[in-house]
Structure formats: C-alpha cells, structure tokens
C-alpha cells in the first residue's frame, strides 16, 4: 500500500511516497512553494521516480503553509505534528526537534512515542528563518548552498547584532564595506540564526537528543552554531528537508489503515 505526504511550504514543495508505512520509495523537492506549480511538480516528480501512478496511492496527507489549498489530498495535518512524526521515524530517540523553514522556525518537544507535546514558533518576523539566510546570501552574491563552505573557513566570526532582517542587511553591507572577510561574515550570519532560534528552543526546554530538520538544517554552519549555542549534540539527516512530508506520509498510512483495517 502506498501513502503520500506532501509538504507545501512558503518556498519549496516536498513529497515523500511511502510503501506499507515503512519504506520510502520516492521523494522529491521542488524549489517553488504555495501559490505556484511547485506542489503539482513535486507530486509528478515523486510518482515518476517511483514508477507509481496516482491511482496506486491509498491516502494523501498535505501539510505545510499551503496544506489547506492543495486539492489533491485526503486530509491535512499541521507541519508541527508532521515534522515531529517524521523525525521520530528516522531518530526514535529524539525528544527535541528544531525545524527552520523558509519563513518560520519552530521547536517541538516530543514524548516517548514521538508525539508532539509542546511547541514554540518564531514571532511575526523573518529573522532566524531561511528567508533571512536567502537575503544575506543574495547580498553576499553567494548561492545559499555556499554558505556552509564559507562558514567553515571562518577565523573570527563577525558579530551580527540586529535581529531584524532589514537592519541586519544594512549591518552586513557596512561590515563588507569595512573589509570584514567573507567567511567571517557568513559565520556571523549563521551564528545570528542559531542564537535567535536557540532562545525559542530554551523556551520549550531542551531534552536530548536534539534534531534539526527543515531546509536550513542542511547548512552545517547553522547546525554547528546551534550545537555550540545550546551545548548539545545536534543530529541531522540528509532527509532534513523531507521530514514534514515523511510525517504526513506516515499519518496518511495510519488513516489508510483506519479506513481499511484488513491491510497491514
């Protein structure tokens, strides 16, 4: 039995196709979020990669910012619960999830069964989110994927004190004009994200192990800064960006089983 999870974020659309609630048989990421053709492209890509057709899918759950307007789902669940579920599937011993997406940051507290018990999200401000890193990468004329490499070369990370993305942009430009090395600037930017989200994490309470998920988790500069800031090891999966879609596919499997108890 195939179930599908589709996570429609503000900047990307992600799909995970699951077989019998256990085996990931396909996944896709399209850099285009809600309000674009990203969701349908992500869906098409995952079906093609797995050699599966829509009719083979028993149940689909949508999650993420665009979950309510996606027409092809049987149900929708918040990205909060889906990230918790996806991370628990990959790391059953994780109790704290730090998820940083395109325009929000969230910290989830999980119980022994991987159920979300508490959460905190960023306030109505893009600081400490993927959008902040996008803006900074653009000022520095770097690709977002280069931030990690540059941060690793830093000798003396710069201090970016503004929490507001717009003010931080001016601060970064001033530091560039003052001749601050690029790697030091990038490391400072990563540190700025980590510091802001770490405060959110402390509000929920840190219980090890701690996992980072979401697109920003791919950036080792932010992961390392977060680990140092919180004083804990941070686990991470190459599937970090797919955790929401994975959780949605797992919930879809539960729903499919509920509606047809004869399948295992």
Partner 1 sequence: MGEEVKKSRPAPDPNSAKFKLGQIAAKAYSDAMEAKARGEMVGWCASNFPVEIPETLGLYVCYPENQAAGIAARGGGERMCNISEGEGYSNDICAYARISLAYMKAKEAPEQNMPLPDFVLCCNNICNCMIKWYENIAKELDIPMIMIDIPFNPDYEVSDAEVEYIKAQFWDAIHQLEEYTGKKWSDERFKEVMEISGRSSRAWIEAASQAKYVPSPFNGFDLLNHMAVMVTARGKAEAAEAMETLLKEYKENHEKGVSTFRAEEKYRIMFEGIACWPWLRVTSTGLKSRGINMVTTIYADAFGYIYEDFDGMCRAYANVPNAMNLEHARDKRIKLCRDNSVEGVLVHTNRSCKLWSGFMPEMSRQIGEACGIPVASFDGDQADPRNFSEAQYDTRVQGLMEIMEANKGGN
Nearer to partner 1, 54 or 203 (CB): 203
Under the binding rule (CB under 8 A), the answer on residue 203 touching partner 1 is yes
- Shortest separation between residue 123's beta carbon and partner 1, angstroms: 5
Phi-psi region of 33 (alpha: psi -120 to 50; beta: other; left: phi over 0): beta
Please list, in sequence order, all residues whose beta carbon lies within 8 angstroms of the beta carbon of residue 222, skipping any fewer than 6 positions away: 100, 133, 190, 193, 194, 212, 216
Interface positions, 32-71, toward partner 1 (CB under 8 A):
65, 68
Nearer to partner 1, 116 or 190 (CB): 116
Asked whether the beta carbons of 97 and 85 are under 8 A apart, the reply is no
CA-CA distance, 229 to 191, in Å (whole number)?
Answer: 8
Nearer to partner 1, 22 or 124 (CB): 124
Interface positions, 96-125, toward partner 1 (CB under 8 A):
104, 115-121, 123-124
List the structure tokens of 101: 């997406």
CA-CA distance, 251 to 3, in Å (whole number)?
Answer: 9
CA-CA distance, 31 to 15, in Å (whole number)?
Answer: 12
Under the binding rule (CB under 8 A), the answer on residue 256 touching partner 1 is no
Asked whether the beta carbons of 159 and 195 are under 8 A apart, the reply is no
- Shortest separation between residue 151's beta carbon and partner 1, angstroms: 29
Nearer to partner 1, 3 or 191 (CB): 3
Find the part of the chain contacting partner 1 (CB under 8 A) among 19-27, 127-135, 219-227, 250-258. Answer: 250-258
Q: Which residues bind partner 1 (CB under 8 A)?
A: 65, 68, 77-81, 104, 115-121, 123-124, 203, 251, 254-255
């Amino acid at each position: 039995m195939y179930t599908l999870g589709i996570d429609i974020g503000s900047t990307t659309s992600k799909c995970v196709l699951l077989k019998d609630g256990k085996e990931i048989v396909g996944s896709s990421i399209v850099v285009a979020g809600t309000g674009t053709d990203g969701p349908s492209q992500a869906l098409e890509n995952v079906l093609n990669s797995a050699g599966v057709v829509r009719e083979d899918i028993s149940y689909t759950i949508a999650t993420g910012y665009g979950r309510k307007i996606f027409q092809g789902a049987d149900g929708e669940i918040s990205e909060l619960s889906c990230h918790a579920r996806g991370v628990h599937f990959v790391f059953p011993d994780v109790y704290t999830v730090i998820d940083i997406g395109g325009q929000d940051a969230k910290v989830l507290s999980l119980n022994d069964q991987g159920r979300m018990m508490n959460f905190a999200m960023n306030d109505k401000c893009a600081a400490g989110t993927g959008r902040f890193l996008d803006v900074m990468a653009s000022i520095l004329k770097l690709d977002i994927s280069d931030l990690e490499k540059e941060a690793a070369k830093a000798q003396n990370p710069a201090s970016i004190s503004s929490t507001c993305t717009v003010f931080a942009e001016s601060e970064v430009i001033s530091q560039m004009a003052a001749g601050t090395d690029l790697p030091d600037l990038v490391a400072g930017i990563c540190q700025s994200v980590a510091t802001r989200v770490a405060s959110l994490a402390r509000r929920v309470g840190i219980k090890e192990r701690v996992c980072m998920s979401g697109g920003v988790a791919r950036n080792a500069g932010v992961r390392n800064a977060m680990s140092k800031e919180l004083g804990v090891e941070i686990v991470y999966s190459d599937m970090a960006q797919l955790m929401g879609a994975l959780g949605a596919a797992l919930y879809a499997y539960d729903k499919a089983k509920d509606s047809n108890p004869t399948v295992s």
